[in-house]
Amino acid sequence: MKKILSYNVNGIRAAISKAFADWLKQENPDIVCIQETKAQPEQIDDSLFEALGYNCYWYSAKKKGYSGVGILTKEKPKHIEYGMQIEKYDNEGRFLRADFENFSVISVYHPSGSSGEERQAFKIEWLHDFREYITDLKKQIPNLIISGDYNVCRLWTDIHNPTKQIKTSGFLLEEREWFDNFVEDGFCDSFRMFDNQKSQYSWWSYRAGARDKNLGWRIDYNMVSNTIKDKLTSAFILPEARHSDHCPVGIEINF
């Protein structure tokens, strides 16, 4: 049984200052996919995680204090793939893959389009290129777990006040259609395999006490290849973890 978490920490150093390592020790996952590290590898104290038995891998943006992904894993991977070999995306440190014997895990941080039209256009371009990249990758590695911040709410039940948000980046029709197509490509939304309730969110705005009122969005996912979805034993959200404006989302899978 493997326990895999995905967590946008909104700054790994800030999360560490909020006792992230202590929380990790208590939660004890086998693999953690981290997004938005906002740090270069040399700025992260790996010894905190190595003391807990993790191998640490980081892929940072060229721009300091921006984006960045990581993977912490107790089992040493056979191979680590840094980036997608697409320069405009790899410059932003958005993709990191760890290959194991029977499967691969990807930590991915999809762009946000909320800052304006230029970044929204970049996001849409990324979504199409990412889908194409994964389609090719699946031919070599059919068993994929793609964990991360997708910056898209997939379903109407994944966002508070959906009718008011349909023109908001992250819930645009074009983005939701992309997600539908991604699922049709052979991936399952692991959380929705186990829980169809409303008001299950992974991100809340810092404004107007949104988190305490649970006015959130579910934008963090562990998408699992259909080839291994029958091996899933649970999927969950951990909203009590408060190191970030996101919370962790996880799965347990029995290989």
> Which of 36, 35, 31, 33 shows the shortest CA–CA distance to 54?
31
Tokens of 17: 């200052």
Instruction: DSSP letter for 29, please.
Output: -
111 CB-near residues (< 8 Å, 6+ apart): 92, 94, 119, 122, 123, 126, 151
Partners of 73 in beta bridges:
31, 55
Q: Which of 30, 149, 158, 189 is catalytic?
A: 149
Give which of 233, 208, 204, 215 is closest to 10, Cα–Cα.
204
185 assigned to active site: no
What are the b/e assignments for 185-203, b being 16+ CB within 10 Å?
A: ebbbbbbbeeeeeeebbbb
Q: How far apart are CA 251 and CA 50, in angstroms?
A: 22
Strand locations in 40-170 (E): 55-59, 69-73, 79-82, 95-99, 104-109, 144-149
Residues that are catalytic? 149
